[in-house]
Amino acid sequence: MAMVELTELHKYFISRHISEGDTVVDFTMGNGNDTLYLSRAVGESGRVFAFDVQQEALVSTEAHLEKEGAPKNYTLICASHHRVREFVTEPIRAGMFNLGYLPRSGRKAVTTMRETTLPAVKAALELLAPDGALIVAIYPGHEEGRLEGEMLREYFSTLSKYRFCPSEFRILNSPDSPYFFLVEKSPKAKFGEI
């Protein structure tokens, strides 16, 4: 029996919005899997900005990108994702958030937090180009993850339906399983507008 693979769905939805030469952001670098995907998707002429607060994530990601032969189109930034506007000024075609803690780090206490996640998501929406998209993966198996998900569901439900189409994808009979939001911006919306 085939099961839904959420990370494959992330790529399916994002790939419909990005092309070679685009600018994209990995808001939660982690070990660099989304950074690698985005780097390959936008190619040599594209740009990828990737954020993480842990130096360990930058080291791990850089090694991963080198090993996999990723195009040299990325900028790895050791800063909180809510500071994105200090580093990225041009419109982005896509952004990916994988909230929670750094996989395989053994430090589950270091996690994304609501007080920086919401400003980061708002900044991402402001930076999103018309017909761009955000993926926000939620991990409700820990308390902060559950609360981040509730906060973002509430926030996304307030967005103008004329500018954004926020959707939620989750496995209904497994409430602690990861799920994600997809937020697509209308082709008619303006850059910088929420």
What digits encode the pLDDT tens for the residues 104-160?
Answer: 545 555 566 666 889 999 999 999 999 999 999 998 877 777 888 899 999 999 999
Q: Is the pTM of this model over 0.75?
A: yes
Tally Cβ neighbours within 10 Å of residue 43. 14
The answer for residues whose C-beta is within 8 angstroms of residue 75's C-beta and 6 or more apart is: 47, 48, 49, 50, 87
**d(Cα 147, Cα 111) in Å, to the nearest integer?**
12
Short-list 68, 67, 66, CA closest to 76: 66
- Listed by start position, the domains of the chain span 6-185
Query: For 145-187, what is each residue's pLDDT tens digit?
Result: 788 889 999 999 999 999 999 999 988 888 788 899 999 999 9
Share of residues in the chain with pLDDT > 70 (%): 90
Residue 6 has pLDDT above 60, yes or no: yes
Domain 6-185: CATH class, spelled out: alpha beta
